[in-house]
Amino acid sequence: MEWQKYNGEFIRIPIASAVEEIISRETHLGNKLKVYIGTDSQVKRGVIDFATVIVFLREHKGGFMFICKDRRLHRMGIKERMLLEVQKSIEIAYSLCPLLDQYHVDLEVHADINTNPNFKSNVALKEAMGYIMGMGFQFKAKPESFASTNCANKVVQ
């Protein structure tokens, strides 16, 4: 998995090391961080592009994010795609958990799934919520899931 900054600069060290550097730097500067992880996808001509983001928000001082893009060529239904988005977010959240716990940084996992049953993505809501919360993470869905709905969506288009 290749991670990059929003400006396109690739992160050449393991993602956990890059996150630790960020937490250390921001803590040294007196900033309190909160981390949000989310994934979004877009289907174009049978190709599914995914973007997973790690969003760092400084309390009252803005934020920034790291991005990882992925592409799948096989067809899948909306429920399978939504749950794959959640899986991608959980994988990175799980890998960063010990580090975030060590530095006392709060984490939320965001799903690009609508809470309104009139939307197609809602078919995966119960499973996604159970999966995320079952792993011990805080869960947010639309309209509160800005990491996936806004941040990842912006880079997957």
What is the reported pLDDT for 46?
86
| CA dist list (Å): 17 to 11, 22, 53, 153 | 10, 9, 16, 25
Helix, strand, coil percent content, the chain, rounded in steps of 5? 40, 35, 25
Count of domains observed in the chain:
1
Which DSSP category does 147 fall into?
I
* 19-53 residue pLDDT tens: 999 999 999 999 999 999 999 999 998 899 999 99
* 63-117 residue pLDDT tens: 999 999 999 998 899 999 999 999 999 999 999 999 999 999 999 999 999 999 9
Domain range for 93: 3-156
Which segments of 10-148 does DSSP mark as H helices, in order? Answer: 15-28, 78-102, 125-134, 146
